[in-house]
Amino acid sequence: MRSNATQSTRLNRWIEQFTGVFDIPPEVALGVPKTTWVGRRQLQIENHQGIVEYTSRKIRVRTAMGQLVVTGSRLKIGSIFGGEIVIDGQITGVELLES
């Protein structure tokens, strides 16, 4: 179990170096999410792995790094298509819960 984890981190570090050399966007190579926060009103998440919870005060989204928790009020899903989700509303907090 432990060795497995170190192996995967070593692999990831190696991929990070690789992508750095070849200028490949890491979200493409590693499958990590790319999050764009526009002011207080909009949060765009690319490369997510599904919605875990959706209410008007809290939206939890699963990603490769863990759960991304968006809190606020009057939260809405502006659009959802493939691995991309846009959250609109009064966003007060974004938190990453490592799995």
41 binds another protein (CB under 8 A): no
Residue span binding another protein (CB under 8 A) among the ranges 7-15, 35-43, 64-72, 82-90 = 82-90
Strand partners, 71: 58, 93
Q: Which of 29, 57, 63 is nearest to 45 (CA)?
A: 63
80 binds another protein (CB under 8 A): yes
50 binds another protein (CB under 8 A): yes
What is the phi/psi pair of residue 34, to 5°?
-115, 120
Handedness of CA 54, 57, 62, 63 (dihedral sign): positive
38 binds another protein (CB under 8 A): no
- Residues near another protein (CB under 8 A) are 27, 46-47, 50-56, 76-85
